[in-house]
Structure 1
Amino acid sequence: MALALCSLSPAFAADSTQAGKATHPPGAAIASGHALATDAGFEIIRAGGNAFDAAVAVSSTLSVVEPISSGLGGGGFFLLHDAKTGKDVFLDAREYAPASATPDQYLDKDGKLDPERSQNGPWSAGIPGLPAALVELAQKHGRLPLAASLAPAIRIAHEGFPVYARMAGGYQQRREVMRRYPGTREVYERGGKPIAEGDTFRQPELAHTLELLAEKGFDGFYRGETAKKLLAGVRQAGGRWTADELSAYRVKQRTPISFDFRGWKVTTAPPPSSGGIALAEMLQILEPYDLQKLDEAHRVHLVVESMRRAYRDRTFFLGDPDFTDIPQDVLTNRDYAQGLRATIHPDRATPSALLSGKPTPLEDEETTHFSIIDAEGNRVGGTQTVNLLYGSGLIPKGTGVLLNDEMDDFALKPGTPNAFGVMGYEANAPKPGKRMLSSMTPTFMESADKVAVLGTPGGSRIITMVLLGMLGYDAGLGAQEVAALPRYHHQWLPDLIQAESGAFAPGTTQALRAMGHELQGGDEAGLGSSHRWGNLQTVEWDKRTDTLSTGSDPRNPVGAGKVELAPVP
């Protein structure tokens, strides 16, 4: 918290404060995982674009400068608010399973899940959705041509940018896999030398792919030159994508989940994200408790118990709504939350084994998020990913496009945990054209006095980080304080609380253990760890003072939040 208080982003206000509450923000605010992406968004706003045009610029630039986290070879979710109509829209650009990706393809000779197959190379990759989302954002929501909003990303891909520590370190972790593929070696080991911190990283092939997207829109990626290179690279590496399933990709517009929490209107991600339903469960379980009056141990205990119950439901009920009958009305109902709350003992942990583990009949820090509010009051929460570090590791030769490894987010073998330790059953089993369950949770919060946009990467921990951020806003914290909050997590199984180092005050860990909780990491009594997680990016508009502020996670030194005032008419 000391870090949060020392690194507060400046809040900017209009020169004169009108009586009452402002009807629109005094300018624009953008927070993203890289300063170049934030600057790209403002470049487009200064050129006359709105928040949706800026989202194209930020998203595409992150695809260039954060290949460790996201890119054109991945997918994402975009939560939009149109200030003119008051309408909220959710764009689902999640990857989907190719027809060849049947569950048996991911098992070894002993019938066990084969991580090599599900996390590396062509079989781990779903059909990408992010390029289609950029086209959709520009054509249906922005006011500038797609080419204009893609221009900053194209320029940076051509000119290059300095390699940062996380990017270089991630490549060393994944080098054994990535250097298998000629297209990847050409990008990350030019001249036979792997990228290193401080190098200028140029991506001319990716720039060309972006130029084709800018010129031809959807067909510039999913058909024609780029598509042929993608298909050739996948097939050369042993995969079986087809031209028809690549060209058949479509962004889906879905209805966001919306509910009230202590005077806030919460708008968040629907399936195939698991985040919105889980947030509705957790927050409605917690709503009657006055958490601020509790000691830290009991506060954490109640929050953890809400997490435990929501993640249990995630395991069995959630998946792609086009393939799975999800009991969404039940899971987001206040009466259902009240029933779950009644099973919580105020002083004792509920062993996960005592919650029903009977199935219905038979995402680490890789991922990135940005938040935007513009001077008209439009807003965007965008979370995008290639799944694990550098996705599949495969770049089809000549494209610069690093493919995702999102197939690992399916329940490839029922009841077997994936790379994030979460598991699933039939609701999230792979089928041709089906979208894998996600934890990405872009979220809006709006009260009578404030508007906030927030989200984060972090695999299965995304939802609980967003939850803690929302509880922070509800407790009166500012945007940068929210971004810096300590983090802890419980996901039903394994039955333990995971925590960052320094997450709990002295004595809290012992008190939680006395309640029956098992802990991993994060205390002063032998569990300390230097590991930190997440990269929360948030923006806030205070309507009472007509000020904008940003919160960019201090765990990420290249992230940036920035505010620019609108010109005075």
Structure 2
Amino acid sequence: METYGTPRAFAAAAGTPYAAEAAAEIYRSGGNAVDAAVAAAAAVGVTEPLMSSIGGGGFALVRTPGGAVEVVDFFDVMPGKGLPPSAFGAGGRPHTVLLDYGAGVSSIVGGPSVAVPGAVRGWEELLKRHGRLTLRETLAPAVRLAREGFRLCRTSALWFRVAREVLALTEETRRNFYRDGRVYEEGEKMCFPELADTLEAIGEEGADLFYEGELGRKISAYVRKMGGLITERDLAEYRPEVRSPLTVGYRDGEIHTNGPPSAGGATLAQMLRIVAGYDLSALPEEEYVRVVAGAMRLALLDREERYADGSRNAEVVGKLLGEEHIASQRKKLFGPHTTHLSCADAEGYAVAITASMGYGSGLVVPGTGIPLNNVLGEPELNPGGFHALSPGERPVSSMSPTIVSSAREGVIALGSPGATRIPTAILQTILNVVDLGMPLGSAVLTPRFHAEGDLFAYEAGARTADLDAYGRVLVYEEPSMYFGGVNAVRRTPEGTFEAAADPRRSGGAAYA
């Protein structure tokens, strides 16, 4: 889980042990933390299927050795450039499934749900801006894992069972994810030889193969055949966006996270701004929970009611983080479909990447092994409704890769999957380290709670208070993936490294 006092040069934490080791392998072969993070992102797309994919997208937060921080936004975008209005809306009959997760998750799948994937262009942009190695070199571990195989982890096996109807949507998808009439189970060996060939070809020819070459033409033709909107023009014109992070001061340091048009980082920042008005380490347990849970409820209510689509969120964030709004919220306090990885090195780079493919569209492009996202089919990502975005617009997201920079705590890169539990999982991990003085591993392991609306959910052993004030109270007797899966690394002020992979999911940590 973690190591203290031992001089090391690199640490990684990722959604599977295979991905963490892929990152360490690339670092040992001459790469830096950025090269390693791209290798882990590709490897986790192979070994944690349906959580991320080259058919999806995400966000990367990068801190350079000089201390500058930037966001590389390679999230998926709305397709349909050049198509007539009649092409949108799936003819009024989108394919909806109810996933057997929690109380049931409604999701639109199939061709009309697929957005333009950003992962490959994003990886290429990260390497161009900060890496030392080539795309071919960084994809090599993922190619090997896809070709030679790996053992399916517990988290992915659980999601396979939840998404079994989606994974049976087409014969091509069944061929990749079913065995003997059922989905693959935990511990069984999986191989994706066609995906290995695809990754190898992308490594040799670059991202242009995916976006402007033969592979892109295959993707567009198949999605259009299945009733979707992705045109060759959509792929050819896709570009990642490089932006400044959303930065808030906290205690003696700064916290950098994903800003608009994403809503997740701003929600985290709002929670931090609220709790910053209190000395959390000195509060009794009930008061601590009242403050932190109250910040969760208020910020998530704003997340639900105030955020829109696209660039309009920048104005919303400015108002919600303003001192007047934060002060008013402080007064009120007392009245699976994502993956994350983090890397840090001795040179000073720290990288946090959160990636997703929604719940998966149920489509695998024939002959390529590429599972496609259903980002357009997720209601929480599209508050304006199904196909309400204009071609080229990015949906709203909760993904919140985050970096903490502090003279006292050092540099921490972290993030989590988990929809609205993303910012609350990250919040509690930060508070555990910065305010409560926990080592990184303990900060990730400590039982969590989540407050949203009239719900208070918590893991056995977590701090609790005011349960009568909530309409619904849920207790999880064991650590649960419901509360996210924080994968974090830390470079201490003394230059040592810690890595913590969340046992709530099947994560792994590696050092070099």
TM superposition score normalised by structure 2 = 0.90
- Residue 296 of structure 1: CA displacement? 2.2
- The alpha-carbon distance between structure 1 residues 317 and 229, as it changes in their structure 2 partners (threshold 3 A), is same
Aligned to 1:305: 294
Distance in 1 (CA, whole Å) between partners of 2:382 and 2:229 is: 26
- Is 2:473 aligned against 1:512? no
Distance in 1 (CA, whole Å) between partners of 2:230 and 2:420 is: 28
- Is 2:488 aligned against 1:538? yes
Equivalent residue letter for 1:400: G
- Is 2:444 aligned against 1:473? no
Distance in 2 (CA, whole Å) between partners of 1:538 and 1:126 is: 29
- Residue 144 of structure 1: CA displacement? 1.0
Equivalent residue letter for 1:537: N
- Is 2:401 aligned against 1:442? yes
When the two chains are superposed, the root-mean-square deviation of aligned CA atoms in Å is: 2.7
Distance in 1 (CA, whole Å) between partners of 2:317 and 2:388 is: 18
- Residue 224 of structure 1: CA displacement? 2.0
Q: Mind listing any 5+ residue stretches in structure 1 that lack a counterpart?
A: 1-7, 15-25, 349-364, 411-417, 565-569
Equivalent residue letter for 1:488: F
Aligned residue runs from structure 1 range 36-115, under 5 A:
36-83=18-65, 85-99=66-80, 105=89
The number of residue pairs the alignment matches comes to 499
Distance in 1 (CA, whole Å) between partners of 2:212 and 2:495 is: 46
Equivalent residue letter for 1:375: A
The alignment partner of 1:289 has SS state of coil
Distance in 1 (CA, whole Å) between partners of 2:303 and 2:87 is: 20
Aligned to 1:164: 153
Equivalent residue letter for 1:466: I
- Residue 258 of structure 1: CA displacement? 0.8
- The alpha-carbon distance between structure 1 residues 103 and 496, as it changes in their structure 2 partners (threshold 3 A), is farther
Bigger strand fraction: 2
Aligned to 1:455: 415
Question: Which of 199, 206, 224 lines up with 1:210 in the alignment?
Answer: 199
- The alpha-carbon distance between structure 1 residues 189 and 425, as it changes in their structure 2 partners (threshold 3 A), is closer
- Is 2:499 aligned against 1:550? yes
Aligned to 1:499: 458
Question: Which of 450, 464, 471 lines up with 1:489 in the alignment?
Answer: 450
Aligned residue runs from structure 1 range 305-384, under 5 A:
305-322=294-311, 326-345=315-334, 348=335, 365-384=336-355
- Residue 294 of structure 1: CA displacement? 2.5
**Percent of aligned positions that are identical:** 34
Aligned to 1:11: 4
- Residue 503 of structure 1: CA displacement? 4.6
Aligned to 2:103: none
Question: Which of 220, 230, 245 lines up with 1:231 in the alignment?
Answer: 220
Aligned residue runs from structure 1 range 141-220, under 5 A:
141-189=130-178, 194-220=183-209
Distance in 1 (CA, whole Å) between partners of 2:432 and 2:369 is: 40
Distance in 2 (CA, whole Å) between partners of 1:193 and 1:59 is: 27
Aligned to 1:567: none
Aligned to 1:18: none
Distance in 2 (CA, whole Å) between partners of 1:66 and 1:32 is: 10
Q: Mind listing any 5+ residue stretches in structure 2 that lack a counterpart?
A: 99-105
Distance in 2 (CA, whole Å) between partners of 1:113 and 1:317 is: 28
- Residue 425 of structure 1: CA displacement? 5.0
- Residue 164 of structure 1: CA displacement? 2.7
Question: Which of 356, 359, 362 lines up with 1:385 in the alignment?
Answer: 356
- The alpha-carbon distance between structure 1 residues 76 and 180, as it changes in their structure 2 partners (threshold 3 A), is same
Question: Which of 439, 452, 475 lines up with 1:522 in the alignment?
Answer: 475
- The alpha-carbon distance between structure 1 residues 512 and 106, as it changes in their structure 2 partners (threshold 3 A), is farther
- Residue 63 of structure 1: CA displacement? 0.9
- Residue 293 of structure 1: CA displacement? 2.6
Write the deviation string for residues 501-545 of structure 1: whole angstroms up to 9, x where unpaired.
x0535xx4xx5134x22333117xxxx6774422110111221x4
Distance in 1 (CA, whole Å) between partners of 2:431 and 2:63 is: 22
Conservation of the 8 A alpha-carbon contact between 1:30 and 1:371: yes
Aligned residue runs from structure 1 range 237-316, under 5 A:
237-316=226-305
- Residue 108 of structure 1: CA displacement? 6.1
